[in-house]
Chain A
Amino acid sequence: MSTETVTPPTGRADRRGARQDFVHRNFGVLSISAVLAVLFVFFSVQTDAFLTTNNLVNVARQVAPTVVVAVAMTFVITTGNIDLSVGSILGLSAAALAIVAESGSAVVALVLALVLGLGIGLVNGALTAFGKLQSFIVTLAALTAVRGLALLITDGYSTPITSDFLLPIGNGRLAGLYTPTWIAVVVVAAGWYVFNHTRFGRYVVAVGSNAESLRRAGVDVRRIQLAVLTLTGLVAGLAGVITAARLASGSSNSGTLFELEVITAVVLGGTALMGGKGSIIGSAIGAVTLGVISNGLVLLRVDVYWVPITQGLILIVAILLNARLFSGISGQRT
């Protein structure tokens, strides 16, 4: 027996559908861009320091780790999965980078920091895709275990970084902008291309939309899941390197609650937590928005505790808007 409803196809419905499609596809990016624009104007008017080259260049550097990981997280969330371990991976990678660089080769330290992230991502991905466990549980376990590992190898101390090879990764400048900003720009561009213009990106959407449909089309869904979670691990490792290089020190405590900031950025950008719909540009703008909020509030000399409160409120408003708008359109979701 079929559960399909019969609606006669008409030209009018087609046109309405096409218009809804446009909104459906771009609403996330449009709304977060509007929020960012409003905040930008607000902080520019309310503070003297916000709209200065120096401040904006610094914000662009500060948000880089979040932007970079948010891009990878967009892939994960679009498949309907989640990665809670990115903050802990960031901490471990930062700590490992500093420790190994102190006692030996900076190049080895860099490679190791990235490979650690990749390896943990691979384990997350394998347990999720082939072990048939929920990514939420797997990466929750990793969140705890990896942070523990970071504390174990550092004994809780932070290690200074002095390497001339590593420091420019955080503090080098090119054409006025810091290296982390350029890394973020490259990652966003690459992520956008892969997400929108390759088969892999198409399959990421399909996994989140209807994994069984993709499986029946002959695509190995498990490999897609493995790939996206490996990717967030690697990119979280990169974020650890960027963070440690910028602070000139690796601490096992860096990246605490980073996963929540990243997920907030992604959701702000219009990516659906249930999967099937994501926007790389939206996630990047979402991450920048969170950075602008914390920067602007600090410049306003508001109590620093208002930063997470404001970010939380904006998240709720964004999600409410999303839910309202999509409830009418995604009704046929099966």
Chain B
Amino acid sequence: MTSGTRDLSTPRVEMRGIRKRFGALEVLRGVDLTVGRGEVVGLVGDNGAGKSTLMKMLAGAVVPDSGEIRVDGTALTGSGPRAARAAGIEMVYQDLALCNDVDVAGNLFLGREIYRPLSRRLDHKRMHEEAAKDLATLHIRISDTRQLVATMSGGQRQAIAIARAVTFEPKVLVLDEPTAALAAREVEMTLQLIRDVSTRGVSVVLITHRLQDLFEVADRFVVLYEGVNHRQMTPSETDLGGLVTAMMGK
């Protein structure tokens, strides 16, 4: 909505007929989700509706029982986090998924550490420098990238998780409750970040219970209810009340 024309004809992400059962509980019962290039989709639904589970599947962290996931037309179903990351999908997990005993730079570079090829020695210096640079670019105020994540505040940890997801130029950015622990200024910065990356063509899926935020950045809402796609609408078609009603399955 904020940035001119977008090519939505070739979807960047295509999830079809996704099903997932945990024991007796069938969390997802054939869910579809399409996200275009540069599109910001607000994924909403009640607590336990299966939003996080659906997005973990896109990020490769959870394998669907059935259904199909395509990114830029290439099948990516159940091929794991490494393949998903390689395909350009980055996710800020609701539980953040940081390593408390590893420092800030180590968390930012987890899984793609910089090292010297011959000695296989980690290039600590470069990782700390780049981490500091990346954090500064994102206006995240963390003075020391050598600090252990265990000692940091909830908001700082959330900021690190966001920084990790956006730093490596993803094609698809999934944000699962990225602002839950953030102060007002940081929330505004995160929303601006979403606008910025989507202008550059990055597709974004935003999960948040701060519905007013969704009206600021989302191009489209997808409402999950009891494991199925319940409604789909644009911000211009509805208002806060309408969205809440849809989330309740009406």
Contacts and interface: CB of A to CB of B under 8 A. Distances in A.
A7 B159 CA distance: 13
B154 A216 contact: no
Nearest to A275: B101
A279 to B, nearest CB: 12
A167 B80 CA distance: 51
Interface residues of A, number: 46
Contacts of A193: 121
Given A213-B97, A276-B100, A8 B146 contact: no
A2 interface: yes
Contact of A219 (B111, B115, B142, B158): B111
A49 B225 CA distance: 79
B154 A6 contact: yes
B100 A217 contact: no
B100 A14 contact: no
B102 to A, nearest CB: 6
A75 to B, nearest CB: 14
A209 B99 contact: yes
Nearest to A212: B97
A238 B115 CA distance: 30
A21 interface: yes
A176 interface: no
A210 B141 contact: no
Contact of B61 (A1, A6, A216): A216
Interface stretch (B8-16, B67-75, B175-183): B175-183
A104 interface: no
Nearest to B96: A4
Given A4-B180, A198-B121, A217-B110, A329 B81 contact: no
Q: Which 5 A-B pairs have the closest CB atoms?
A: A217-B111, A218-B82, A7-B153, A2-B180, A17-B151
Contacts of B112: 217-218
Contacts of B183: 6, 8
A210 B100 contact: yes
B60 to A, nearest CB: 8
Contact of A202 (B84, B102, B147, B150): B102
A218 B84 CA distance: 8
Contact of A7 (B102, B146, B154, B177): B154
